[in-house]
A = this chain, B = another copy of it.
Amino acid sequence: MQVFSYEQLYRFTQDVFLAMGCSKTDATTAAEVLLSADLRGIDSHGVARLSGYVRLWQAQRINATPTIRIIHETPSTAVIDGDAGLGLVVAPFAMQVAIDKAKQVGTGWVSVQNSNHFGIAGYHAMMALQQDMIGMAMTNASALVAPTFSVERMLGTNPIAVAVPAGTEPPFVADMATTTAANGKLEILQRKQAEAPLGWVQDENGQPSTDANILRKKGALLPLGSDREHGSHKGYALGSIVDIFSAVLSGASYGPWAPPFPAYVPMPENMPGKGLGHFFGAMRVDAFRPADEFKQHMDQWIKRFRQAQPAPEQDRVLIPGDPEREIEAERRTAGIPLLDPVVEDLKQTGMLFNMKGL
């Protein structure tokens, strides 16, 4: 384990994107979005994935100089073609379009085709907060999840993020995979050589498994709810809704045809659309009630839920977004810890571009 300052990782990441041929503006945006994951403690989605993006670029599945454009729109909606650009750049562009539409007609809804992985959904949803808007972001992803009653991987971990502004309280920020556990949680167990709790994954026959490496053995992640008796059909429905809004609505590739993140995995045959898809929403709070009034009530909501009686063995009840914000406050000053294999991977990536290392 080594600890790096945010600035150190930021400069390095930006330099890698510049070396790929991204514009200064895009490299800055992409570095900020990617590192927001490390800051917020979602280590699986941050610099640990930088080399993965580079390999996709090497495989010509990512275009470093995309022409991102609106291909269809109405006053409250747009469809954007990401031109195979970095999702880290396409997504903030699309979210800004949603915000601009909301300024005009109250809400804005943007579906995106021909994109790539966009980092953490929470970053994009939170862009709405400074405008006194509720923000939403979701994306489809490589198929790793079996629907209820199935053994076939049909959906990605398809996250949903919703950010709601408050007044004196910090905002409400939910950012969650629609599976019982995100893939990053499994990766942590793999590194520790630990077992997964029952209910996270199943084996190739659909039997319960605790093998954290089961995805390499034709196993699958389970939808939120784990099994039918505990509501996995609801997690399956949520993941499906994300897939439909992100990819069927936009013209991206959906379900088992979603393009894989690892560059060594061949692209699916007969893809029904272009690239990955995302979906963004922005709702102006004052399109419903005066912003100050809304924020006062959100403060009251948050305070009341913080005061909910904790279970005997628990200290406190959390508000969605609390853990990530606390980690961010700590890492902004104390730095960001990286596992040795991640540091080594970053060094290799730097060498590829003749950079001087981290």
A158 on the B face (CB < 8 A)? no
A304 on the B face (CB < 8 A)? yes
- Checking B146, B250, B289 against A72 with a beta-carbon cut-off of 8 angstroms, the contacting residue is B289
Whether B255 lies near A305 (C-beta < 8 A) is: yes
- When distances are taken between beta carbons in the complex, the residues of chain B under 8 Å from A237 are 162, 174, 176, 320
Whether A254 lies near B301 (C-beta < 8 A) is: yes
The 10 closest A-B pairs by CB, nearest first: A206-B311, A74-B106, A174-B237, A75-B105, A77-B106, A77-B287, A152-B309, A149-B314, A76-B106, A150-B308
- Checking B111, B300, B309 against A151 with a beta-carbon cut-off of 8 angstroms, the contacting residue is B309
Supply 30 A–B pairs (Cβ within 8 Å), ascending by A.
A74-B284, A75-B106, A76-B105, A77-B288, A79-B288, A109-B283, A149-B316, A150-B308, A150-B310, A151-B310, A152-B308, A152-B309, A172-B244, A174-B234, A174-B237, A176-B234, A177-B234, A181-B231, A197-B230, A225-B225, A236-B320, A238-B238, A240-B320, A244-B298, A248-B298, A249-B289, A254-B301, A255-B304, A255-B305, A272-B297
- Checking B224, B273, B301, B312 against A297 with a beta-carbon cut-off of 8 angstroms, the contacting residue is B273
This chain: how many copies in the complex?
A: 2
- When distances are taken between beta carbons in the complex, the residues of chain B under 8 Å from A224 are 224-225, 231, 234-235
The CA-CA distance from A235 to B298 in the complex, in Å, is 19
- When distances are taken between beta carbons in the complex, the residues of chain B under 8 Å from A79 are 288-289
The CA-CA distance from A310 to B301 in the complex, in Å, is 43
Chain A 148-184 per-residue mask, 1 if CB under 8 angstroms from chain B, else 0: 1111101000000010100000001010111111000
- Given A162-B241, A180-B225, A317 and B231 contact (CB-CB distance below 8 Å): no
- When distances are taken between beta carbons in the complex, the residues of chain B under 8 Å from A255 are 301, 304-305
- Given A147-B317, A206-B311, A224-B231, A304 and B199 contact (CB-CB distance below 8 Å): no
The CA-CA distance from A234 to B230 in the complex, in Å, is 14
Chain A 302-336 per-residue mask, 1 if CB under 8 angstroms from chain B, else 0: 00110011111110111010000000000000000
- Checking B151, B230, B234, B241 against A199 with a beta-carbon cut-off of 8 angstroms, the contacting residue is B230
The CA-CA distance from A3 to B226 in the complex, in Å, is 36
Whether B305 lies near A180 (C-beta < 8 A) is: no
Closest residue of chain B to A222 (Cβ to Cβ) is B230
The CA-CA distance from A294 to B272 in the complex, in Å, is 11
A233 on the B face (CB < 8 A)? yes
A229 on the B face (CB < 8 A)? yes
Whether B248 lies near A301 (C-beta < 8 A) is: yes
Whether B109 lies near A289 (C-beta < 8 A) is: no
Chain A 199-225 per-residue mask, 1 if CB under 8 angstroms from chain B, else 0: 110000110000000000000000011
- When distances are taken between beta carbons in the complex, the residues of chain B under 8 Å from A298 are 244, 248
CB interface residues, A 279-303, toward B, < 8 Å:
283-285, 287-289, 294, 297-298, 300-301
